[in-house]
């Protein structure tokens, strides 16, 4: 083929009208979507389990914060309220003379190791 023949073929093709290809008609139905690989399914399962665990952890954190707040309030109440012995008479310290009187009256027991005091 010479150059002139090639040029003539190209010119003929360029001048020809281009028609649209016929629509593709097929009696086959489109293929169903493929099942996700097992690895993807396992990953999704793990993600959903992790999300559930995170939700449980957040709930536990909220409860823990509430308990801490209650403990702090009780601690403040105890600190500001004073001691539990407030309002009760203080124990009187025994003088040596009073102790001597109790010993002579045989009102003081001795501990013999049995846990019982004997008169």
pLDDT at 57 over 90: yes
Decide if 60 is inside a domain: yes
Decide if 57 is inside a domain: yes
- Alpha carbon distance 85, 81 (integer Å): 11
- Range of the structural domain that residue 51 is part of: 37-81
Does residue 109 contact residue 117 with C-beta atoms inside 8 Å?
yes
How many domains, the chain?
A: 1
What's the predicted TM-score (pTM) here? 0.36
The torsion defined by the Cα of 101, 104, 105 and 108, in degrees rounded to 10, comes to 90
Decide if 52 is inside a domain: yes
Q: How confident is the model at residue 9 (pLDDT cuts 50, 70, 90)?
A: confident
- Alpha carbon distance 69, 73 (integer Å): 6
Average pLDDT, the chain: 78
């Amino acid at each position: 083929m010479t150059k002139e023949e090639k040029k003539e073929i190209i010119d003929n093709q360029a001048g020809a009208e281009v028609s649209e290809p016929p629509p593709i008609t097929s009696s086959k139905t489109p293929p169903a979507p493929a099942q996700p690989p097992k690895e993807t399914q396992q990953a999704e399962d793990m993600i959903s389990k992790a999300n559930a665990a995170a939700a449980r952890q957040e709930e536990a954190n909220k409860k823990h914060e509430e308990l801490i707040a209650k403990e702090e309030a009780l601690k403040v109440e105890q600190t500001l309220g004073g001691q539990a012995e407030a309002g009760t008479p203080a124990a009187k310290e025994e003088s040596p003379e009073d102790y001597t009187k109790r010993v002579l009256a045989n009102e003081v027991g001795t501990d013999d190791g049995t846990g019982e005091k004997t008169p």
